[in-house]
C-alpha cells in the first residue's frame, strides 16, 4: 500500500476530492480567436475579476499574459495586487470605485484606477503628489447602464479639471453596455452614440485620452464598430456564452473550466428511508445512492434551486434531498443498471464533459435559475484549481 503510494508523486493526486481543472490551451485559444476579430491597433484587456470568473486569478492571468493579453481588468485593488504578486507586469485597471486611502497602495503596485468624480480624483492626486508620483486613471462614463460613472454631459468638465491635476495621468475613458448581449441592439447603440459624441467633444477640446473603450465580450463579437482603442473581454475568454440564448459564442471557442469530484460512498436505500437533512426525499423503491464531497460551501447551491444532477459514468445522476454544506447525495440506481456498479473513487463531473455527455455551465445556470457568469464565479476558493495543458 505504502509502496504503491510512493510510486506516484503527491502532485499526481488532487489536493481535495473535488477540484477544478482549467485548460491553459483553451484560454490561449479563446484569446487568439477574440484577437483575430480585432484590428491590429485595438488592444485586448482580459477581465480577470472575481478570481478570473472562478478560474483562479493568478494562473489564469499568467496564461493570458503569455498568450498576449495587453491589459488586465479587475474589480478591486486587492485583486490587482494579487495579480502583481503573481508576476503580472502588464497594466491592470481596477473597474470599480477605489477610495482615496488606497492611493498609496495603488501607486506602490502601479495599478490604474477608475475615477468618475472630482472629489475622489483630487484626493488621489494629492496622495500621488505627496509620494512624488503620478497615478494613472481611466474615467468611467455612464451612458445608460446607470451603475457607475459620470454622465456624458458632465464628462468634459471633469476631464478639464483632471487635466489640471498633475498627480494624475488620464490614460483612458470608458463606458459599459447594459444590453450588448441581447439581440435587440437599440439601447447598446444609443449608449455607443452618446459615447462617440463625447469622444468627439473631448477630441475637439484636446482632452481625448489615448485609450477609449466600451466593448465587453458580447460587443466584441456582435458590434465590431464599438471596438475603439481597446476591448474588455471576460466571459468569452473562458469559452462561455455572453448570453445563453441571445449571444452564444461562435463555433471554435472552448470552455476552459471543468469541475470534478470523486464518489466518496455508495449505499443502498430501502423503501421508506430518507436522504439528508429534513428527510425531504423518501425512497419509494430500493435505490442505490452515491455521496459526493461537494456542497453549498463549495458554490454548489442549496436553494432556491439546485444543480439538478451531475454526471457519473457519462450519465445524469439526479440530486436526492437537500444539498449540505460539504456533501450531496445523488441517485445512481439507473446508472448502475445501465453501466455497472458505481464505486468509491469514480469520477463525477459537475461542469464539463464525461464520455459523450456534457453538463455545461450554461445548462447548470438554467437549472439554478441564474447565468453562467454567476455559476462559475461562485465556485469558492476552497475548491482547488489545477491547471492542465
Ligand atoms: C466594466 C466591465 N467591463 C467589462 C466586463 C467584461 O464583460 P464580459 O465578461 O461580458 O466580457 C465587465 C464584466 O462584467 C465589466 O463589469
pLDDT in tens for each of the 389 residues of the chain? 333 444 445 556 788 999 999 999 999 999 999 999 999 999 999 999 999 999 999 999 999 999 999 999 999 999 999 999 999 999 999 999 999 999 999 999 999 999 999 999 999 999 999 999 999 999 999 999 999 999 999 999 999 999 999 999 999 999 999 999 999 999 999 999 999 999 999 999 999 999 999 999 999 999 999 999 999 999 999 999 999 999 999 999 999 999 999 999 999 999 999 999 999 999 999 999 999 999 999 999 999 999 999 999 999 999 999 999 999 999 999 999 999 999 999 999 999 999 999 999 999 999 999 999 999 999 999 999 999 99
Residues 349 and 229 in one domain: no
Residues 264 and 324 in one domain: yes
What is the Cα–Cα distance from 245 to 178, expressed in whole angstroms?
Answer: 16
Predicted local confidence at residue 10, as pLDDT:
52
Domain boundary among 174, 204, 238: 238
Q: Can you tell me which atom of ligand 1 is nearest the CA of 236?
A: 11
Q: Does residue 13 form part of some domain?
A: no
| Identified catalytic residue from 32, 49, 185, 387 | 49
Q: Does residue 88 form part of some domain?
A: yes
Domain extent for 212? 37-238
Q: Does residue 376 form part of some domain?
A: yes
Enumerate the β-bridge partners of residue 347. Answer: 262
- Contact, 118 vs 161, CB < 8 A? yes
C-alpha cell at 279: 428527510
Domain boundary among 238, 270, 295: 238
What is the Cα–Cα distance from 263 to 339, expressed in whole angstroms?
Answer: 15
Residue 116: name the closest of 90, 88, 92, 143 by CA.
143
Predicted local confidence at residue 5, as pLDDT:
40
CATH number at residue 302: 2.40.37.10
Residues 330 and 191 in one domain: no
Domain boundary among 181, 206, 238: 238
Residues 200 and 266 in one domain: no
Residues 212 and 289 in one domain: no
**Strands 230-233 and 43-47, bridge-based pairing:** parallel
Predicted local confidence at residue 15, as pLDDT:
86
- Contact, 102 vs 82, CB < 8 A? no
Residues 207 and 85 in one domain: yes
Active site residue 140: no
Q: Does residue 160 form part of some domain?
A: yes
Enumerate the β-bridge partners of residue 235. Answer: none
Sign, Cα dihedral of 271, 277, 278, 281? negative
What is the Cα–Cα distance from 358 to 104, expressed in whole angstroms?
Answer: 47
Span from the CA of 234 to the centroid of ligand 1 (angstroms): 6
Q: How many domains does the chain have?
A: 2
Establish how many alpha carbons lie within 13 A of residue 81's alpha carbon, considering only the half-sphere containing its beta carbon. Answer: 10
pLDDT in tens, 332-386: 999 999 999 999 999 999 999 999 999 999 999 999 999 999 999 999 999 999 9
Tell which one of 64, 174, 176 to mutate to probe ligand 1, the residue whose CB is within 8 A of the most ligand atoms.
176
Q: Does residue 19 form part of some domain?
A: no
Residue 92: name the closest of 285, 232, 201 by CA.
232
Predicted local confidence at residue 1, as pLDDT:
30
Span from the CA of 187 to the centroid of ligand 1 (angstroms): 17
Residues 216 and 323 in one domain: no
Active site residue 53: no
Is 340 buried (19+), middle (13-18) or exposed (0-12) by CB count in 10 A?
Answer: exposed
Span from the CA of 110 to the centroid of ligand 1 (angstroms): 22
- Ligand 1 pocket residues where CB is under 6 Å: 47, 95, 176, 216-218, 232-236, 242
Residues 272 and 365 in one domain: yes
Residues 229 and 340 in one domain: no
Q: Does residue 276 form part of some domain?
A: yes
What is the Cα–Cα distance from 130 to 134, expressed in whole angstroms?
Answer: 10
Residues 312 and 359 in one domain: yes
Predicted local confidence at residue 12, as pLDDT:
67
Q: Does residue 366 form part of some domain?
A: yes
What is the Cα–Cα distance from 177 to 186, expressed in whole angstroms?
Answer: 11
Residues 60 and 205 in one domain: yes
Stated pTM of the model: 0.95
Q: Does residue 24 form part of some domain?
A: no
Residues 182 and 271 in one domain: no
Amino acid at each position: 500500500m505504502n509502496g504503491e503510494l510512493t510510486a506516484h508523486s503527491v502532485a499526481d493526486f488532487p489536493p481535495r476530492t473535488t477540484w477544478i481543472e482549467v485548460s491553459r490551451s483553451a484560454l490561449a485559444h479563446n484569446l487568439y480567436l477574440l484577437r483575430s476579430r480585432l484590428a491590429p491597433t485595438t488592444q485586448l484587456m482580459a477581465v480577470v475579476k472575481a478570481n478570473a470568473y472562478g478560474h483562479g486569478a493568478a494562473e489564469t492571468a499568467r496564461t493570458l499574459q503569455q498568450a498576449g493579453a495587453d491589459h488586465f481588468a479587475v474589480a478591486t485593488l486587492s485583486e490587482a495586487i494579487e495579480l502583481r504578486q503573481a508576476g503580472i507586469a502588464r497594466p491592470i485597471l481596477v473597474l470599480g470605485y477605489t477610495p482615496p486611502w488606497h492611493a498609496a497602495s495603488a501607486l506602490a503596485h502601479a495599478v490604474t484606477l477608475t475615477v468618475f468624480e472630482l472629489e475622489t480624483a483630487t484626493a488621489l492626486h494629492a496622495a500621488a503628489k505627496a509620494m512624488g508620483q503620478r497615478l494613472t486613471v481611466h474615467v468611467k462614463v455612464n451612458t445608460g447602464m446607470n451603475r457607475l460613472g459620470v454622465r456624458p454631459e458632465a464628462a468634459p468638465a471633469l476631464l478639464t479639471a483632471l487635466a489640471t491635476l498633475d498627480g494624475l495621468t488620464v490614460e483612458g475613458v470608458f463606458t459599459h453596455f447594459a444590453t450588448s448581449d441581447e439581440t435587440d441592439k437599440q439601447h447598446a447603440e444609443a449608449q455607443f452614440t452618446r459615447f462617440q459624441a463625447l469622444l468627439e467633444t473631448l477630441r475637439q477640446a484636446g482632452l481625448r485620452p489615448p485609450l477609449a473603450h466600451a466593448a465587453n465580450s458580447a460587443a466584441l463579437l456582435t458590434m465590431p464598430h464599438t471596438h475603439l482603442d481597446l476591448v474588455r473581454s471576460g466571459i468569452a475568454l473562458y469559452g462561455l456564452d455572453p448570453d445563453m440564448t441571445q449571444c452564444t459564442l461562435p463555433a471554435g471557442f472552448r470552455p476552459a473550466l471543468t469541475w470534478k469530484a470523486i464518489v466518496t460512498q455508495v449505499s443502498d436505500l430501502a423503501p421508506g428511508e430518507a436522504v439528508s437533512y429534513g428527510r425531504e426525499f423518501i425512497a419509494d423503491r430500493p435505490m442505490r445512492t452515491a455521496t459526493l464531497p461537494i456542497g453549498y460551501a463549495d458554490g454548489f447551491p442549496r436553494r432556491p434551486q439546485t444543480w439538478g444532477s451531475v454526471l457519473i459514468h457519462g450519465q445524469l445522476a439526479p440530486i436526492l434531498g437537500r444539498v449540505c454544506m460539504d456533501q450531496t447525495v445523488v441517485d445512481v440506481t439507473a446508472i448502475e443498471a445501465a453501466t455497472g456498479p458505481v464505486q468509491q473513487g469514480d469520477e463525477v463531473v459537475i461542469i464539463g464533459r464525461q464520455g459523450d455527455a456534457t453538463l455545461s455551465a450554461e445548462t447548470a445556470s438554467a437549472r439554478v435559475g441564474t447565468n453562467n457568469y454567476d455559476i462559475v464565479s461562485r465556485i469558492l476558493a476552497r475548491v482547488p484549481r489545477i491547471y492542465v495543458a
